[in-house]
Amino acid sequence: MSPETARAAFVLELRNAHAMERQSQELMKWQAVRLADYPDIEKRIRTHMEETDEQLRRLERCLESLNERPSILKDTALSLLGNLTATSNAMGEDEILKNMFSNYAFEHYELATYKSLVRMAQELGLEEAKSLLGASRSEEQKMAAWIDRHIENVTDAYLERIDQLKHAATAPG
């Protein structure tokens, strides 16, 4: 592959990753304000929101080093999609489970994206980009592992909560 083609592919994927992180930001903003019943999850989501802000800065640094910028169109479209996804998840009583499932899948999508970007940076000899993207990949691995470790506990808490609500709704007086 020619260096020009490799560079163009790398820039495209950096822009896609930037838009992906904007989508993630929107999802987490919506989720964080609706997690009062799950304080441990709220805390982790808020921590990951800070990581995501840093991931966006890293992606911007990578793009700037190539004299490129994020795609406003992609960022806007995926931010909107993040809002729509969060809104649709909020419509059900099982919102917490839907969010855990979609977050689990999304973290793995992000992880795969960063894995690919690290490889591209390596192929292009862009050591700073490789290091920046590797840091983001590591954060995504940690978040995916955290979700994996907590899905069953969240499911148990959700079942307990809906059972309590059912009993409260059917209690006399």
Polymer length in residues for the chain: 173
- What pLDDT is stored for residue 88 in this prediction? 60
- What is the average pLDDT score of the chain? 89
In this structure, is the dihedral angle defined by the CA atoms of residues 82, 116, 120 and 2, taken in order, positive or negative? Answer: negative
pLDDT interval class at 13 (50, 70, 90): very high
Question: Residue 29: is it exposed, middle or buried by C-beta count within 10 angstroms (0-12/13-18/19+)?
Answer: middle
- Give the pLDDT mean for 41-57: 97
Q: With a threshold of 0.85, does the pTM exceed it?
A: yes
More confident residue, 139 or 168: 139
Q: Among residues 72, 68, 48, which one has the least CA distance to residue 126?
A: 68
Taken in order of first residue, the domains within the chain and their CATH numbers are 3-170 (1.20.1260.10)
pLDDT digits (tens, 9 = 90+) for 20-47: 999 899 889 988 988 888 999 999 999 9
Q: What percent of the chain has pLDDT over 70?
A: 88
